Structure 1
Amino acid sequence: MDLMILAPIGAVAALLFAFSLSKKVTSESEGTPEMQKIAASIRSGAMAYLKRQYKGVAVFFAIMFVVLMGLSFLGYVNMFVPVAFVSSGVFSALSGYFGMNIATSANARTAYAAEHSLNKGLKVAFSAGAVMGFSVVGLGLLDMSIWYYILKFYYSNLPAAEQAVQISSAMLTFGMGASAMALFARVGGGIFTKAADVGADLVGKVEAGIPEDDPRNPAVIADNVGDNVGDVAGMGADLFESYAGARLSACALAVTAGFGLTGMAVPMALAAIGVFASIIGTFFVKTKEDATQMDLLKSLRKGTYISSVLVAVCSFFLIQYAFGMEQIGLYFAILSGLLAGILIGYFTEYYTSDTYKPTQVLAASSETGPATVIISGLSLGMMSTAIPVVIVGISVLVSYYLAGGILTGGPVDFNTGLFGVGLSAVGMLSTLGITLATDAYGPVADNAGGIAEMAGLGEDVRKRTDALDSLGNTTAATGKGFAIGSAALTALALIASFIQQVELVDANAFDLRIINPTVLIGLFVGGMIPFVFAAMTMSSVNRAAMSIVAEVRRQFREIKGLMEGTAEPDYATCVDMCTRSAQKEMIPPAILSVVVPIVVGLILGVNGVAGMLAGCTVTGFVLAVMMSNAGGAWDNAKKHIEAGNLGGKGSDNHKAAVVGDTVGDPFKDTSGPAINILIKLVSTVSIVFAAVFASVSLL
């Protein structure tokens, strides 16, 4: 049996399951006329933003298409690359669109379902998140399946071994479109959501002293829109890109290791197995009324763990069928990736959930004001980087040595070991359907809580939506940790693929000794890129947020009766301001990500690029973990106080925690998660231009 056929089968299964879940969600009632009105405003703002973003991104894609066409005519890239660049960007955009469409349809339905029971609210929100998860994996598998069969037909006259080389080499360059789309979606969405969130919190909570999601706050609709454009559309495009990059690099490494078309099929088949395992896992997500946060977390974990166990069992038979028992080390490489993903998720939860001591200590630091909250949060974020680095390091060692042949007692095969590292990244992402469902669930629950507050639903409903929202904060932090961990493994595989792409042009191109000046300079430049990128995105949020703060203050000051609840705020102006700011501010960081590797390659050559990729991956991974975990912990420390601890809402402790949360907002939702896309985009750009760097450089 041709294992590759599992990929399109898995793609169709994922998309059909996503479609069935979307029908199930939309069959639920959207609640009262007031709830429907609020939901419609959020939906309208989110779709207007997405439409404007895609128009702007289309210009960038058109320019890059022309550039890539020129390179293909000069023989530097495969002639299919320009079209594949556009197609992967389109599929990535579609995954974000489908996810946001269902999320904005499910928010009011989740709030209304919570009127009946906590479990029903959880099921609606989780089902909406699953639509996003399975749309991403379905479209990702479909895109690669289509291109595989197109290329296989085109190269059908070549021997099987040569076919594998040509197909894998061409497909490796196809991920740049997905990476570019992901960066625009993540950065633009992150700027939008955090500008609105900061404006709503600083003026509404701290200055005016009104509750979160109070309908009197002019930025509250923009805040809810932002949850969707940042944490749904942005996250969807982000993980679509990780999913594509991991499989593309693993396929290329399989061919280099000598496994041919069969080796290429294994990562694709593993992804398909993950689809079916994730579908089964979704049926185990349920809870009881009056469940604690730990009970809710266990409900989501149960589905994820069951899916992981199914992948672990089935992947053994996949490796045995494809390669026989002599390559059983590849199976342990898959297991190492699966386990690494689970562990990174667990320790991210440990550092960011108020169920555990680190965030409780952070909340307690509010006793002495916002300064100590910020110091404590930064300390927590920095400390939280240690365990993920150790986990990724162990996963790389285990997958490399076990796949490379250490089990047989012979010398380690370098290329097979690298294929093992690539497979561990695919293994980590194999259960992405359900993992992303638990992440995308969060913004739906957050919006549901906002709608419940604005529509004046009962205290019991608000209590349930608060519980679901608090769970969403933890799952969102866990999802970001998972995305960053998978990005690190994927980036390592992409670096190996870059080196192999260059060696196809010039087998003696590399001198990667650390004392080689070009390598050393590349390391420094690569280490600097994530910091400059983070600074640019943080500054973008700051500028956009300042304008929203000024607008909210103006409306509180000038609209008579607004604070008394007898006049309506101008929500549309805040939404429009966030949209315009996000579109403008997302361009410079995106240009940085594409231009810097090209400039480094043209000046320092392939050795400088290799150093740059290593430096960018290391510092990017650590900085992204620090920022995401610090931001998540600040958010949940605020939620911990709002739950009635340390003085509760409106206390000095609460105001200090709100300031910490405001600092953490761009950490966890803009800069942190965008850095993991940065390190992969820099790698994919380098791979696409590898032949240019090998042929044309100053040094």
Structure 2
Amino acid sequence: MSLYLPVICGVIALFFAFGLSKGISKESSGNDRMKEIAAYIHEGAMAFLIREYKYLLIFIIIVTIVVGVLIDYKTAICFICGAIFSILAGFFGMRVATKANVRTAEAARHGQKKALKIAFSGGAVMGMCVVGLGIIGLSILYLGFDKNVSFISGFGLGASSIALFARVGGGIYTKAADVGADLVGKVEAGIPEDDPRNPAVIADNVGDNVGDVAGMGADLFESYVGSIISALTLGAFIFTDSPTKVMFPLMLASLGIIASIVGILFASNSKNNNPQKTLNTGTYIAGAVVVIGTGILSNNIFGNFRVFGSIIAGLIVGMLIGKITEIYTSYDYKSVKKIADQSETGAATTIISGLAVGMYSTMIPILFIAVGVLVAFYIMGGANNVSMGLYGISLAAVGMLSTTGITVAVDAYGPIADNAGGIAEMSELPSSVREITDKLDSVGNTTAAIGKGFAIGSAALTALALFASYAKATNLSKIDLLNPVTLVGLLVGAMLPFLFGALTMESVGKAANEMIEEVRRQFKSIPGIMEGKSKPDYKKCVDISTAAALKEMILPGIIAITAPILMGMLLGVEALGGMIGGAVAAGVLMAIFMANAGGAWDNAKKYIESGENGGKGSNAHKAAVVGDTVGDPFKDTSGPAMNILIKLMTIVSLVFASVIANHGGILLNLLK
């Protein structure tokens, strides 16, 4: 029975998601104008996904052939499954999110609690699809291939590849539209956010879904399965005589699904009027269930509480990073207020202050991650048994991600609330409705920032655990930094996040420039648009974001996948190890810096819009809008993509470990 428990829990998660989806569908979607706008958003989002998946189909076919030829057909099958399951998680989650947005707006006409419940239920569908599909896919492949873990790294490769394209493509889409809508609409034309006269407003709302729902879901799907794969792989090396111990990460993930459902049900039915406290309490309850269940589970399977200690270390670090992220990005704290104060002297000081906040924000999370790694390593006896210590780190990653179901739900709730506000504005609903959706959206900004912090922390631990699996697969016992070949790998690896960030930032800039020119053109050439007598050409702006995202996502994706293979084939196993180390260190720091700087700029703008530092329309507000615009690609494109970059590089290294170990170091051999 225990062998099939993960599959059963995965099915429960999907049925729970289906029930939430049916409940959302039964709610009223408002008047005809609201339905019309919601249809624009839904059709734009689904059209983008379908076009993106057509591009990705070519990629999936090519990589399947390469993996099948160079490695084996079973790994290739796992790759296909990982890619398809990642696509399905994003597709189902976004489909429901684009239904929940209009229903949240309509519910806000009747009060905040109902609006919060619908928006959160929409996010919970995404969360349950991520964990349900993830654990079902891994469990079936693990059991189907006779508990041989050597093939399932292909599942992680499929999930990581799709996640990268979904995050980068979705991020470019949403920020091109957002930047264009803000700079021309709010700064130049002086019209409100989500004003129906703005041609980019529909593209902006579509972008919230393709970037912050589908992209974010694919990101955490990849982290979730990657952490389980690393723990399964290391467990298979260590517990050769105990399949139950090898399966422990799957059982822990199963416990996390049940805990997430408990937390979601509590938050959905909470009587608390504070949305932030409601969502936080649901998350803490899920964490408490995991803590209790893990203690029982680890003692029954391992006969001690060492495993429990490693898992709790990961869970605590994840929650602490989330809290630190909130402190640096919420306007309830001084960092964001300081940026708002600096905005009174212009855009330059706004940007300088935000950059400083982002840099400061790297220190404490890195220290927490370091402590978590050390605790997880040594509590498992790493001083005497390095393999067990590394296994402890992998379990810390699984522990941190055990409550992914509710973490994704809280994160995906934000874009739904944001869309609801846009629909309320465009439908000219009473100001009381917009006040409710704005409050929910403000909380959503903070939960999204917390989600990004959580994703970064989990990426660091998952990458370290996958790196340990790579070292085991290639018999790499140590990395010598005095070896110039290793040092070259380290430097190149540290450079890649900067190159990756530059490419994605530049892509947003190019796409945003095209969007800005189009919005300006429509304001000038369409008679009566500013008076509200003529309808903007929303479709043209949607097409610009779609084309730019699909075009610009290709090069970063190719670099992330090919760089580790080239390094390993040219300079060998140890050089690739150095490359991964450099990429993880630089990538985690860049991810924290960019995500938190962007979140702080965003909430500094919202803080001013709430009436502080001169309020809307003031010089401080205009400067804050510029800061927010700079921060948009920081927090929603380049920053989040760093997580996937470092995990994708490590999973590619693990999948191709045997090829690199047997045939790598071609250039090194020639030099010798």
Shorter-chain TM range is over 0.9
Aligned CA distance change for structure 1 residues 288 and 116 (closer, same or farther; 3 Å): farther
CA distance in 2, matches of 1:16, 1:304: 21
The one-character-per-residue Cα deviations of 1:215-238 (angstroms, maximum 9, x if unpaired) are 000000000000000000001111
Which residue of the partner structure matches residue 148 of structure 1? 142
Which residue of the partner structure matches residue 576 of structure 2? 609
CA distance in 2, matches of 1:376, 1:283: 40
CA distance in 1, matches of 2:404, 2:64: 30
CA distance in 2, matches of 1:296, 1:286: 10
CA distance in 2, matches of 1:449, 1:441: 13
Q: Does 1:502 align with 2:474?
A: yes
1:18–1:135 Cα contact (<8 Å) kept: yes
> What letter corresponds to residue 26 of structure 2 in structure 1?
S
1:437 to 399, 405, 409: 409
Structure 2 counterpart SS, 1:422: helix
1:329–1:402 Cα contact (<8 Å) kept: yes
Summarize the alignment of residues 216-235 of structure 1 with structure 2, pairs less than 5 Å apart. 216-235=197-216
- Give 1:286 deviation, angstroms: 5.4
Aligned CA distance change for structure 1 residues 480 and 511 (closer, same or farther; 3 Å): closer
Summarize the alignment of residues 88-107 of structure 1 with structure 2, pairs less than 5 Å apart. 88-107=82-101
- Give 1:288 deviation, angstroms: 8.6
> What letter corresponds to residue 342 of structure 1 in structure 2?
M
- Give 1:45 deviation, angstroms: 0.3
Q: Does 1:133 align with 2:127?
A: yes
Structure 2 counterpart SS, 1:404: coil
Which residue of the partner structure matches residue 291 of structure 2? 312
CA distance in 2, matches of 1:360, 1:461: 27
Which residue of the partner structure matches residue 395 of structure 2? 423
Which residue of the partner structure matches residue 178 of structure 2? 197
1:348–1:629 Cα contact (<8 Å) kept: yes
The one-character-per-residue Cα deviations of 1:147-171 (angstroms, maximum 9, x if unpaired) are 012111xxxxxxxxxxx5xx12222
Which residue of the partner structure matches residue 76 of structure 2? 82
Q: Does 1:283 align with 2:277?
A: no
Q: Does 1:663 align with 2:630?
A: yes
1:11–1:139 Cα contact (<8 Å) kept: yes
2:328–2:596 Cα contact (<8 Å) kept: yes
> What letter corresponds to residue 682 of structure 1 in structure 2?
M
1:646 to 595, 603, 613: 613
1:510–1:606 Cα contact (<8 Å) kept: no
Which residue of the partner structure matches residue 209 of structure 1? 190
Q: Does 1:471 align with 2:408?
A: no
- Give 1:516 deviation, angstroms: 1.1
Hey, which bits of structure 1, 4+ residues long, moved more than 4 A? Answer: 286-291
> What letter corresponds to residue 168 of structure 2 in structure 1?
V
1:451 to 423, 434, 457: 423
Structure 1 counterpart SS, 2:28: coil
1:118–1:289 Cα contact (<8 Å) kept: no
CA distance in 2, matches of 1:102, 1:26: 9
CA distance in 2, matches of 1:289, 1:637: 30
1:68–1:81 Cα contact (<8 Å) kept: yes
Which residue of the partner structure matches residue 242 of structure 1? 223
1:118–1:290 Cα contact (<8 Å) kept: no
CA distance in 2, matches of 1:304, 1:624: 23
The one-character-per-residue Cα deviations of 1:360-396 (angstroms, maximum 9, x if unpaired) are 1111110100000000000000000001101110000
CA distance in 2, matches of 1:188, 1:421: 31
Which residue of the partner structure matches residue 585 of structure 2? 618
Using the TM superposition, name which of 259-268 and 679-688 deviates more.
Answer: 259-268
The one-character-per-residue Cα deviations of 1:332-378 (angstroms, maximum 9, x if unpaired) are 00000110110011110110011111111111110100000000000
Which residue of the partner structure matches residue 657 of structure 2? 690
> What letter corresponds to residue 117 of structure 2 in structure 1?
K
Which residue of the partner structure matches residue 333 of structure 1? 310
Which residue of the partner structure matches residue 491 of structure 2? 524
CA distance in 1, matches of 2:169, 2:277: 33
Aligned CA distance change for structure 1 residues 290 and 207 (closer, same or farther; 3 Å): farther
Which residue of the partner structure matches residue 9 of structure 2? 10
Structure 2 gaps of 5+ residues are none
CA distance in 2, matches of 1:425, 1:695: 30
The one-character-per-residue Cα deviations of 1:35-81 (angstroms, maximum 9, x if unpaired) are 0000000000000000000000111111111111211xxxxx24301
CA distance in 2, matches of 1:60, 1:283: 39
Q: Does 1:52 align with 2:29?
A: no
1:117–1:289 Cα contact (<8 Å) kept: no
> What letter corresponds to residue 483 of structure 1 in structure 2?
A
Q: Does 1:302 align with 2:269?
A: no
CA distance in 2, matches of 1:220, 1:402: 52
Equivalenced residue count is 665
Which residue of the partner structure matches residue 249 of structure 2? 267
CA distance in 2, matches of 1:560, 1:47: 31
Aligned CA distance change for structure 1 residues 115 and 548 (closer, same or farther; 3 Å): same
> What letter corresponds to residue 203 of structure 1 in structure 2?
V
CA distance in 1, matches of 2:327, 2:47: 37
RMSD: 1.3
1:22–1:102 Cα contact (<8 Å) kept: yes
> What letter corresponds to residue 126 of structure 2 in structure 1?
M
- Give 1:693 deviation, angstroms: 1.3
Q: Does 1:373 align with 2:350?
A: yes
The one-character-per-residue Cα deviations of 1:596-648 (angstroms, maximum 9, x if unpaired) are 11111111100000000000001000000000000011001101111111111
1:631–1:663 Cα contact (<8 Å) kept: yes
Q: Does 1:535 align with 2:502?
A: yes
2:456–2:592 Cα contact (<8 Å) kept: yes
> What letter corresponds to residue 405 of structure 2 in structure 1?
G
Which residue of the partner structure matches residue 160 of structure 1? none
What percent identity do the matched residue pairs reach?
A: 55
CA distance in 2, matches of 1:323, 1:336: 17
TM-score by length of 1: 0.94
1:4–1:268 Cα contact (<8 Å) kept: no
CA distance in 2, matches of 1:57, 1:640: 40
CA distance in 1, matches of 2:238, 2:78: 25
CA distance in 2, matches of 1:511, 1:619: 20
- Give 1:290 deviation, angstroms: 10
- Give 1:283 deviation, angstroms: 2.1
- Give 1:257 deviation, angstroms: 2.2
Which residue of the partner structure matches residue 362 of structure 1? 339
CA distance in 2, matches of 1:641, 1:362: 10
Which residue of the partner structure matches residue 158 of structure 1? none
> What letter corresponds to residue 121 of structure 1 in structure 2?
A
- Give 1:649 deviation, angstroms: 1.0
CA distance in 1, matches of 2:308, 2:174: 41
Which residue of the partner structure matches residue 385 of structure 1? 362
Using the TM superposition, name which of 187-196 and 512-521 deviates more.
Answer: 512-521
> What letter corresponds to residue 98 of structure 2 in structure 1?
T
CA distance in 2, matches of 1:274, 1:83: 27
> What letter corresponds to residue 614 of structure 1 in structure 2?
G
CA distance in 2, matches of 1:445, 1:479: 16
Structure 2 counterpart SS, 1:212: coil
2:272–2:278 Cα contact (<8 Å) kept: no
CA distance in 1, matches of 2:261, 2:251: 16
CA distance in 2, matches of 1:3, 1:59: 38
- Give 1:289 deviation, angstroms: 9.5
1:442–1:476 Cα contact (<8 Å) kept: yes
CA distance in 2, matches of 1:520, 1:680: 21
- Give 1:591 deviation, angstroms: 0.5
Structure 2 counterpart SS, 1:3: coil
Which residue of the partner structure matches residue 40 of structure 1? 39
Q: Does 1:600 align with 2:567?
A: yes
TM-score by length of 2: 0.98
> What letter corresponds to residue 33 of structure 1 in structure 2?
D
The one-character-per-residue Cα deviations of 1:427-482 (angstroms, maximum 9, x if unpaired) are 00000111110000000000000000000010111100000011111111110110
1:118–1:288 Cα contact (<8 Å) kept: no
CA distance in 2, matches of 1:43, 1:353: 30
